[in-house]
Structure 1
Amino acid sequence: MIIRRKTRKIAVGSVAVGGDSPISVQSMTNTDTRDTEKTIEQILRLEEAGCEIIRSAVLDEEAAKAIRVIRDAIHIPLIADIHFDYRLAISSMENGAEGIRINPGNLGGEEKLARVVDSAKHHKVPIRVGVNSGSIEKDLLKTHGYPSAENPKALIESALRNVQAIEKLGYHEMKISIKSSDVLTTVSGYRQLSALTDYPLHLGVTEAGGLIAGTVKSSVALGILLSQGIGDTFRISLTRDPVEEIRVGFELLRSLKIRERGPELISCPTCGRTRIDLFKLAEEVERYVQTMKRPIKVAVMGCVVNGPGEAKEADIGLTGGNGVGIIFKKGEIYKKVNEDVLLETFMAELKKMEEEG
């Protein structure tokens, strides 16, 4: 059983982060925020996949003003991602951002940070203090060296220094992230940071890579930390459609038995007995179950001989070969159909199970 470390609870819009609240799954849009139509369309797809908090880059004043249009069209909290220009942080909050992500050290000094914090207080907006390995202050790098698994002190001290700067201004609605592109540095850094603060932690491996490399690196680092009770919210960073980040995120939580959302999909790796286009079937079924909320187990198996038996714990599954498709439930054959209508028939059964609740 995983025992989460105790953290203070903050509110990002309607979503609680930290404390006893569920570990939330986030993503970030990769559209131009100023293109509100495309950004809204992407966020709505992310919502359908289960995204609970979304972040968008604010590059200029036009993007800050777009926050209002976007926020009014979506159903999950919207965080503005800000670098360097403190005015954009303030404008984003004035336009309805429900959270901001900043590196306080690169906003231009104490006076500008104070103005951002005053706005956050006024609008009741939490601040994510985000520090990456590539954005650490020079004096900390000189003292501690570049962050590594053996010595992540520069990352940790940078984050805590920036947190303390905000605390001195009388504000404590914060969460912290210290991201590295290195898995072991990420694990070591968050482990040590978690022992030094009770602020909620946002986990992530930055610049993790594409679908395969990014999934592996993120799952290893975050899986280790989450299994040790560290982490209150996270993003799986992939060079990919951000919807994939949400899919990976919830599968990670499911694998650790932390949270379940929608069906669990199991499928065989194929072998020489496979006589159906299993890759295509698995892909189509996987795409569909991502829209479902009922926590059932769905199987896509490659042959009639072993399919129902190997997946007998599945609530529903399909298999087939040589022109015949079989749908089974709990290991028992439920329906036989022609292979060319197997997918269509199976989808109808899934829809029926979802509607029945």
Structure 2
Amino acid sequence: MSVRTYREIQRRKSRQIHVGSVAIGGDAPISVQTMTNTVTADAKATIDQIRRIEEAGADIVRVSCPDEESTAAMKAICKASTIPVVADIHFHYKRAIEAAEAGAACLRINPGNIGSADRVREVVKAAKDHGCAMRIGVNAGSLEKDLMDKYGEPCPEAMVESALNHARILDDNDFREYKISVKASDAFLAVASYHALSEAIDCPLHLGITEAGGLISGTVKSAIGIGNLLWAGIGDTIRVSLSADPVEEVRVGFDILKSLGLRARGVNIISCPSCARQGFDVINTVKTLEDRLKHITTPMSLSIIGCVVNGPGEALGTDIGFTGGGAGKGHGQIYLNGQPVYRIQNPDLIDHVVELVEKKAAEIEAARNAAAE
């Protein structure tokens, strides 16, 4: 048991499924997903975007398949992608079958919207034949009419009832490789729905606040909603929905997980907002470092603090740190593994810190590889 029990998150126990090579649920790490926004039928554009998504660290990517042209392109897309591809399907059962045949690792679907029981059985058979998982995706904006008539508005009870109705269809067809999401743009509704669903079923849960907004407002809303659930131990995979580049969704997703100590990827920069005490331009320094350290995937911590009020204390808990020497001094202190080591001039700060981070990353990876041999 940790000596810092206040930092412990007890994850909900869910059964484990697989989306391609990625384990979801059980004791598997919480995975980060995003979705392409290219025209799927344009396989080259979609693959190019997936390349950037892969580089950002996404574990899974979702691709919309609204028509035959899209599913026709899926074979090339799935073959080119190094991460599992989820086919986003609505209404037409044949698109689901075509996507499964094309190599999709998962079908995002609502069984109740596919049509007759025979059509559902055909989709389930295709999923079984081709090793596809499924995600039941309930959304407050598209609840079934009978549930809206029953409850009068989207509410947690309606969301959970919809999810369980869809899950029952898959269970009745002896299909258990599924996860569920109950998303809403209202964070209160989404969080309440996920809490209720987490107690009603043991399958993995895919978290998200849908239609969250632009980069800043959507990040804030997603961090509140998804973070609230993760802190409570709920959630096995996440997607941050932003009106922004999918790469930004991946970065925000990892930042949410890093903030809660649930995943670690890349450099976690601890920095101050700056004030009149700062000994260097904190804001532009951090902005530049974030950009220049994007290529580092090794987990490590870096503190960039403007002055000596909090700088030494923050540096104690980071791998590498720099604390400004005070306004007008022109230099600051480098810390390694929490200890002050030497001073450098402010103009040398960025290049020097990048060099230190790259060196530290190489050392960590070398030690990790040696331990694995």
Please say whether Structure 1 and Structure 2 have the same fold, judged by a TM-score greater than 0.5: yes
Offset, 1:226:
1.5
| TM-score normalised by length of structure 2 | 0.88
Cα deviation code 1:298-329 (max 9, x no counterpart): 12223477644543432213355655465433
Secondary structure in 2 matching 1:280: helix
How many residues were matched structurally?
353
Cα deviation code 1:105-139 (max 9, x no counterpart): 22233332222111111112011010101111111
Contact 1:132 1:178 in 2 (8 A): yes
The one-letter amino acid paired with 1:129 is: I
Aligned-partner Cα distance in 2 for 1:9–1:222: 20
Matched with 1:102 is: 109
Contact 1:314 1:331 in 2 (8 A): no
1:179-328 residue pairs with structure 2 within 5 A?
179-274=183-278, 276-303=280-307, 307-308=311-312, 310-318=314-322, 320=324, 324=331, 327-328=334-335
Q: Which of residues 76, 80, 83 in structure 2 aligns to 1:73? A: 80
1:335-350 residue pairs with structure 2 within 5 A?
335-337=343-345, 339=347, 341-350=348-357
Q: Which of residues 120, 126, 151 in structure 1 aligns to 2:133? A: 126
**Where in structure 2 are there 5+ consecutive unaligned residues?**
1-7, 365-373
1:42-53 residue pairs with structure 2 within 5 A?
42-53=49-60
Aligned-partner Cα distance in 2 for 1:50–1:106: 33
Q: Does 1:41 align with 2:48?
A: yes
Larger mean Cα displacement after TM superposition, 176-185 or 38-47? 38-47
Matched with 2:167 is: 163
Percent identity, please: 49
Q: Does 1:332 align with 2:332?
A: no
Contact 2:25 2:204 in 1 (8 A): yes
Contact 1:98 1:126 in 2 (8 A): yes
Secondary structure in 2 matching 1:318: strand
Offset, 1:74:
2.3
Secondary structure in 2 matching 1:121: helix
Larger mean Cα displacement after TM superposition, 117-126 or 102-111? 102-111
Cα deviation code 1:262-310 (max 9, x no counterpart): 3221011011233533322212212343432332211222347764454
Offset, 1:261:
2.1
Cα deviation code 1:44-102 (max 9, x no counterpart): 22222221111111122222122221222221111111112211111111111111101
Aligned-partner Cα distance in 2 for 1:41–1:301: 38
Matched with 2:368 is: none
Q: Provide the alpha-carbon RMSD of the alignment.
A: 2.1
Aligned-partner Cα distance in 1 for 2:334–2:244: 33
Contact 2:273 2:283 in 1 (8 A): no
**Where in structure 1 are there 5+ consecutive unaligned residues?**
none
Q: Which of residues 153, 158, 165 in structure 1 aligns to 2:157? A: 153
Q: Which of residues 23, 30, 33 in structure 2 aligns to 1:23? A: 30
CA 1:16 to 1:349, structure 2 compared with 1: closer, same or farther past 3 Å? Answer: same
Aligned-partner Cα distance in 1 for 2:342–2:266: 22
Q: Does 1:352 align with 2:359?
A: yes
Offset, 1:203:
0.8
| TM-score normalised by length of structure 1 | 0.92
Larger mean Cα displacement after TM superposition, 295-304 or 14-23? 295-304
Contact 1:29 1:42 in 2 (8 A): yes
Larger mean Cα displacement after TM superposition, 28-37 or 225-234? 28-37
Secondary structure in 2 matching 1:207: coil
Offset, 1:244:
1.8
Aligned-partner Cα distance in 2 for 1:155–1:111: 25
